[in-house]
Chains A and B, each alone.
Chain A
């Protein structure tokens, strides 16, 4: 019996090649895109699960509360981990990570070779008791037990030592600290939050080891709990210990904990987001999941539509079979089988498409696509499950509808209830276009907002400004010499030394309103040398720049932005010469006020920012240089040469400030690109379906078209007549999708402090575009039908 079913199914698919091809294309596209996204989403969900104790590891952070803001930090005091381990019996072990230089790139020197390493951490020796880190060389019981020991990842070892054995050799950090290599560990897998390439022993940082305090929350801390521990009261317990240990007036934060398995996807919005460079976003994962499902549904709708559209042809077959004794169930199985065969073929085509599109998808998501996983047994099972699900989803309605045909109608072939089915098909077309329209609006709004960001005046001029890291200089005189060399270059306009630059964090302080000590605001403080205003192109509203500093001067002069002065309740002019209350310990005077500028991404509103010259704020690792270069490449090469001449034991690290600012929107740009791709795919899939339906309608109405032509109808009139049938559901879709898209986009734009207005033009353009695309798709078939010779079409009937 099944042999017969297979035979008929294959022959049916082969006979209707056009519809089979359209369905195959639609389903294959849908399947390949969905599989790519399912792989991506499953990879995101698998983060950190490979650790044996993954479910029992929790990260400890603090919640800082000041003014009316409440910020979650991913880091904790260095005393927290050891204290919790001592006082909480459920804590088996703790491990602390300190990022080198609080996130600065480390300069590593091996012999005469210099290396830049952004991922150097100082880590407790208990690391191996908490996480699964496999040492290829070295002993986990000893590797990080003493000061000045370091372990390297396999790839870092290869970069620094090539094929030579690094064990026992020396490594210099920032030309200062000498470390001995005591272990080599396997690189972390791609789905690991831990991303350290080099890990030094925590004991190497004497200040962090010996002085355990509650006031410095810079340490990412993980606790490993007993497996049977109920972690729901972990926050309460850690806070109870905090309250016992720190007096209320000194307690500016509370504790919070986060399961390790939540760290990757649930850390958006957490300040100082811990140390990982590979953080995901559950919202983005959800959006991608919904998009994958939508694309798959669109492809299934196509199949349902095209199969039921040809129901007249199939009814005859069902009628004959039933007359000869087939039951409805047997017929339904037959149609399911046909769907199953087509879906299986689409899977093969989809997998091929996925294989071809993998490099593109990887560049789109910025992560490797684990295509090879599909060959594993669980994934094979999942693929078969998905095949069954799609077969069931796409085949259910056609199978039930077609198999329900009563054989009595066979002898009276006029099908009743046809309008109802046509309504159903139009409803599915409308649903497809709801998705398309919403995606078109999304793509337009994303694009416009990102354009707005890139063109918005930032309040400073980041073009041709470079930041050169001089962190590893042995002597200040080296930096001064380098500055003199740079100043003499014709392609250097101006330069200064600075603690940071717009786009990266600087020091955090606070100040209060004059006379109102309880009203506090956050202050971003950047220690700079004069000349910063020319380098960054800042506009002065009042006062002057910072004066040259004399060594004996104990006051701090500051240049403040407009927002800061407004908080203090002064005009720019009034602010000059005054002191911002409760900001620094040293006496502070405002000497200048500059126009506001965006030193963070446009997600955040502008806050108070000051440039200071205090002698006690001596840390200025960056050299900011404003260039006027015709040949940027040559200029950068010249800068590097001079750098290597003055700082021979440092590696040259240069960042273009405008590139860095643009990277703040990387995640949005990626999402925008993905939405564009999805929009195009959704439109293609929907149009394939519409194209098939239009072909069917043109075929069904051949006789009507012939008669109308004989009676004098024009080709344009006939195209309009046929197109109208499909434009109605598309227009209804536009009306349904508009408010939905409006709500979705409103929510997305709320993430930006500075955003475009969501006006009706987006919806008008998207609506017109959707309608035009639908019209063009339908017109092709309509035009062909309308141009046909009526004599032929009437004879065909």
Chain B
């Protein structure tokens, strides 16, 4: 599903040039659950941005489903992104002005899903996440765990092929964290590919494979479970 060849990302400011990714070569197959670990500043989030098509690489190749997309325009990347990817962030990134229902519904507005279908899908997901009773609440009225469940629901509502999660349990206590990891595992079990950045060894082990990064480079890759 994902393949990178010598992927580089360099941030250039007036005074300094920072290499965030250096010659990264990874491959992720459909149905995998891959965790990315490494110390702060090692390039984990940059890798997630590039693979999530919200930032382009400076050089190198990025193949998504066999198509080179690393150097496509923002508009084309956005088009591929909204139909194929779902995002879960550490800080949830829900829109404060929208209710739980509206937040989950939002991605479908951009993919032009008909209204009846949108309602059906949102309700199914909220039921599944056990937050249906909170559908008309605003994000600030929810606990952290509930907010992250909403964020996950929003990430999968368009039925993406790949979920990118950036420290999804970073702001949660252990029981809520477990809850989220359980949902991600279930989604993976249903066939969705998951790429997750985390600091937590515990969470990382929910994946099939752990990629470790240091100074913008992939240093090791460990298989945690046998990929089925």
Binding site for B on A (CB under 8 A): 1, 4, 7-8, 11-12, 15, 316-317, 319-327, 330, 406-408, 410-412
Contact = CB atoms under 8 A, between A and B. Distances in A.
Nearest to B13: A416
B87 A323 contact: yes
B110 interface: yes
B54 A323 contact: yes
Contacts of B89: 410-411
B190 to A, nearest CB: 21
Given A325-B81, A407-B54, A411-B49, A4 B96 contact: no
Given A317-B95, A410-B54, A411-B166, A326 B110 contact: yes
A8 B78 contact: no
A320 B96 contact: no
B49 A320 contact: no
Contacts of B97: 7-8, 11-12, 15, 317
B122 to A, nearest CB: 13
Contacts of B83: 325
5 contacts: A7-B97, A11-B98, A321-B95, A323-B81, A326-B110
Interface residues of B, number: 29
B82 interface: yes
Question: Which of A316, A323, A412 has the largest number of chain B CB atoms within 10 A?
Answer: A323
Contacts of B102: 4, 7
Nearest to A412: B45
Nearest to B81: A325
Nearest to B77: A407
Contacts of A7: 97-98, 102
Contacts of A321: 95, 106, 110
B93 A410 contact: yes
A416 to B, nearest CB: 8
A343 to B, nearest CB: 20
A10 to B, nearest CB: 9
A1 B94 CA distance: 18
Nearest to A328: B74
Contacts of A412: 45
Contact of A325 (B49, B55, B78, B94): B78
Contacts of A12: 97
Contact of A408 (B55, B75, B95, B106): B55
Contact of A1 (B107, B109, B166): B109
Contacts of B48: 411
Given A407-B54, A411-B49, A412-B45, A324 B96 contact: no
Question: Which of A8, A11, A316, A407 has the largest number of chain B CB atoms within 10 A?
Answer: A407
B93 A316 contact: yes
Contacts of A316: 93
B111 interface: yes
Interface in B70-87: 74-75, 78, 81-83, 87
Nearest to A15: B97
A406 B110 CA distance: 17
Interface in B102-143: 102, 105-107, 109-111
A320 B95 contact: yes
Nearest to A416: B13
B209 interface: no
Nearest to B80: A325
Nearest to A11: B97
A325 B111 contact: yes
A11 B98 CA distance: 8
Nearest to B105: A4
Nearest to B138: A11
Contacts of B111: 325
A407 B81 CA distance: 12
A411 B55 CA distance: 11
Contacts of A1: 109
Interface string B52-69: 101100000000000000
Contacts of B78: 322, 325, 327
A407 B164 CA distance: 14
A37 to B, nearest CB: 37
A719 to B, nearest CB: 32
Contacts of A4: 98, 102, 105-106, 109
Given A4-B109, A7-B98, A408-B55, 13 more contacts: A4-B102, A12-B97, A15-B97, A317-B97, A321-B95, A321-B110, A325-B83, A406-B54, A406-B74, A407-B54, A408-B49, A411-B49, A411-B89
A316 B48 CA distance: 18
Nearest to A5: B109
